[in-house]
Amino acid sequence: MARHFKLTADGGSRGNPGPAGFGAVVSENSHIIAEIYEFIGTATNNVAEYGGLIAGLKAIHDLDDQATVDVCMDSKLVVEQMSGRWQIKHADMRKLAQSAREAHSPSLVNYTWIPRDENSHADRLANKALDAQSGGHDKSEPVAPRQLNYLTERLKSAEKPTVLHLIRHGETVLTPSRKFSGVGPLNPVLTDTGRAQASAVAQAAAKLGAEVLIASPLNRTKQTAEIISQSTGLTINLDEIWFEMDFGYWDGLSVEEVKAQYADDYDKWLTDLTFKPAGGESWEAITARVESALSKILSEFPGQTVAVVTHNCVIKAAVAICLGAPIESVFHMDIGPCSINTLLMWPSDGLRAIRGVNQQSN
């Protein structure tokens, strides 16, 4: 009788691209039977994540080539691509996906996305691989200067990056008082001021040369995108991956009201990146989601110019990710309504750069 295994896998890159490694955990009947980790040199997060998947599937295939497998990963990109729900347009990613299919029969493998905190064992192994190679995370030679030189070389190269314009929606009734406005039932629409802001950014967007227009499905982003669509002639593609952060029971409250009613929770939210208001979303979770959203754009639209109408916290997380900054840096950013925030991503290895933040069109 064929055996059944669970595989959790992860990968990481310190620099993206930078020193990279992966980890994989194979278990059977809740008992761990294999731990795999390896340093793979300079690579991106996505390449490292695929590395963990492939290594784990190969190990399982050696144990039983007819085994069924439940793969659980916190990389939405890998899970969605291997499940066949996302297109794989980049040639290098297609090769990795094919290697995963060849490692163990795809008909025997099921893929499930899990939150990052449920994948901690594989994550620890990936970091163990990196630490064993570098002698620890705090290396005397920092990554940043190397990346700056690398970016300069890339900007001088002939490779065409994916240009991503992240556009925040226009003003709603909650915006002037900076009240929390997530994905809750309030779902506010644009005010007259918000529509005027959207009209102004639509005129600017028409000059950006965008080939694709994507929007979060919430009212305020859809309405902003509709005005941009009228100006650009682009069809709107709605995608929930660009939803705003979920603030749970804080939705509709001002910072002052949250401090007064939930003081301890507010302090935790500022200092504990895993904390989430009841029914809400942590900074760690939204960072993982935005990471997946960026990877999805790069995978589906290599070398193209894409405009995405999205939200304040999503844009802040994207900027932090592209800078390689700690997520706490979001508390030092101000992203205005209908501002344009431009990122560059190179298809060959996923290198990211910031071209402009909080650019105003009015």
Active site residues: 169, 244
With DSSP H G I counted as helix, E B as strand and the rest as coil, what are the percentages for the chain, rounded to 5?
A: 45, 20, 35
Burial of 291 (0-12, 13-18, 19+ CB in 10 A): buried
**Would you say 89 and 302 are in contact if contact means Cβ atoms under 8 Å apart?**
yes
Sign of the torsion formed by the C-alpha atoms of 304, 309, 310 and 315: positive
CA dist., res. 111 & res. 72, Å (int): 6
**Would you say 22 and 126 are in contact if contact means Cβ atoms under 8 Å apart?**
yes
**Would you say 340 and 200 are in contact if contact means Cβ atoms under 8 Å apart?**
no
The strands making up 109-113's β-sheet, listed across from edge to edge, are 31-43, 18-28, 4-13, 68-73, 109-113
Q: Which residue has the tokens 């190397």?
A: 146
CA dist., res. 77 & res. 163, Å (int): 19
CA dist., res. 63 & res. 8, Å (int): 16
CA dist., res. 85 & res. 38, Å (int): 29
**Would you say 297 and 345 are in contact if contact means Cβ atoms under 8 Å apart?**
yes
- Bridge pairing between strands 305-310 and 162-168: parallel
60, 67, 196, 237 from 26: Cα distances, Å: 7, 12, 55, 38
Residue spans of beta strands (DSSP E) within 296-360:
305-310, 340-345, 352-359
CA dist., res. 247 & res. 253, Å (int): 10
**Would you say 268 and 275 are in contact if contact means Cβ atoms under 8 Å apart?**
yes
- Bridge pairing between strands 4-13 and 162-168: unpaired
Sign of the torsion formed by the C-alpha atoms of 338, 297, 273 and 12: negative
